[in-house]
Amino acid sequence: MAFGAVLCVAAQAQPVPSDFPGATMRFLNAELPQMEVAVKERDRDYFEQAMGRIMAFSEAWGFKTTANPALAQYATCTDAVNDFVIVGLCRVMPKASECEPGLAPKFDANLQRCRDLASKP
């Protein structure tokens, strides 16, 4: 019985790939307003802390440090998570080497596509 309970808990702990767009949008909807404040205040500490939250989110879903092939169909969402801090930092430090001219529009497009995926039933 204990072994079956452990398997049940382990199965419940695995995120469902189709929930990823919604989880991504909840994550980004919480982060983006904070990032706007950090950009206005030129608060670089926010970005360091946000990177930790990104790593925790990505580890929970199995991307960035590991490969989760089930998320391949949601590349716009993983890209949005990966890029949002860089886009914000580039607004604070536009001359940084990571600040490519097309990054912000690419982020905006990925964010909108992820939002669209999240709104599908």
pLDDT at residue 36 above 80? yes
Query: pTM value?
Result: 0.83
pLDDT at residue 6 above 60? no
Nearest to 110 by CA among 68, 79, 69, 70: 79
Q: Which residues contact 24 (CB under 8 A, 6 or more apart)?
A: 74, 77, 78, 80, 81, 114, 118
Nearest to 78 by CA among 67, 94, 88: 67
Model confidence over 24-34: pLDDT tens digits? 999 999 999 99
